[in-house]
Amino acid sequence: MKKKKKKKGRRKRGGRSGGRRRNSRKRRRRRRWKKKWKKEEEEKNVKKEEEERGNEEGEKEEEEEAVEEEKETAEKMVEEVEEEKEKGAEGKRRGGGKKEGREEGEEEEEERGDEEGAKEEGEEEKVEEEEETAKKWGRRWKEEEEKGAEGKRRGGGKKEGREEGGGGGAGGKRR
């Protein structure tokens, strides 16, 4: 009687062996993981870029608001100076001045007029000084605004046109 042929083990059968099967599964798993990881990284990058864009827009808005506030303050100063000038002129007409506008020649009124005249002259000088400073500041703000526009074009700082990105704040540190 012929000896019965022993059946081969599961691993020895034809087709894919266990090792090959396991390796291909690993490969597939790795590919899936890589795709997923890439997608997540892209999403993170997109979020970062959006946040940065939002921050830059916010900074621009803040700078514009600051410039507008400076303009308004300069205009207010100029208006106040003009009003005070007008008040001073009215005071002279009412007989406050040193030698003008005195019809009655009484001593008491003269003394009072001298005191008022001296006060008004002091006020006029103040008014003139304030007007000059306001004009000066108005010019400066205009210059700064222009500089600021140039600076922004060059990637400069918040308040003045920082050509080389120097100065205080975060403006210089980024460059």
Residue 124 to residue 131: CA distance in whole angstroms: 10
**1 in helix, strand or coil?**
coil
141, 74 contact by CB (below 8 A): yes
In a domain, 122, yes or no: yes
Amino acid in position 165: G
In a domain, 119, yes or no: yes
Task: Note down the domain range covering 59.
Answer: 27-98+107-142
From first to last of the 175 residues of the chain, give the pLDDT tens digit.
678 877 777 666 666 667 778 888 999 999 999 999 999 999 999 999 998 888 888 888 888 999 999 999 999 999 999 988 888 776 666 665 555 444 445 555 555 666 666 666 777 888 888 888 888 777 776 777 666 665 555 555 555 555 555 555 666 555 4
pLDDT for position 130 = 84
In a domain, 171, yes or no: no
What 8-state DSSP symbol labels residue 4? P
In a domain, 19, yes or no: no
Please give the tally of structural domains in the chain: 1
pLDDT for position 166 = 54
pLDDT for position 102 = 47
In a domain, 167, yes or no: no
Angle, CA 110 vertex, CA 107 and CA 116 arms, to 5°: 145
**Cα-to-chain-centroid distance, residue 123:** 38
In a domain, 34, yes or no: yes
In a domain, 92, yes or no: yes
In a domain, 68, yes or no: yes
